[in-house]
Amino acid sequence: MPHPRTCGLQTLACSPPPRTKLRTFGDRAFSVAAPTLWNALPAEIRNIPTLDAFKRALKSHLFIKAFGP
C-alpha cells in the first residue's frame, strides 16, 4: 500500500530561497540549496503523490538531464 509523501518541501514551491551574503558559502547551505533544487523540478514531479513513484520519476528526470534523451 503506497504511503502519501509528507514532505515539508512541498510548501517551498511558492517561496523563494533565502538571500545570502556570500555567493561561495551561503548558496551552498542546505537552507538555500534545497528550495532552489526543489523549485527547479518540474511541477509534475513535485506533485507525485507516492514516494516510490516520486523516486522513479526523479531518477528518470536526473538521468535524462545528465545524459540526454
Whole-number pLDDT of residue 33: 84
Whole-number pLDDT of residue 2: 46
In this prediction the pTM is 0.62
Which residue, among 27, 32, 30, 37, has the nearest Cα to 17 in the 3D structure?
32
Q: Give the model's confidence band at 5: pLDDT under 50 very low, under 70 low, under 90 confident, else very high.
A: very low
d(C-alpha 68, C-alpha 50), whole Å = 26
Angle at 27 between CA 15 and CA 64, to 5 degrees: 75
Whole-number pLDDT of residue 50: 95
d(C-alpha 67, C-alpha 51), whole Å = 24
pLDDT digits over 9-46, tens only? 454 445 666 665 656 666 778 888 888 889 999 999 99
Whole-number pLDDT of residue 66: 94
Helix (H) or strand (E) holding 3: none
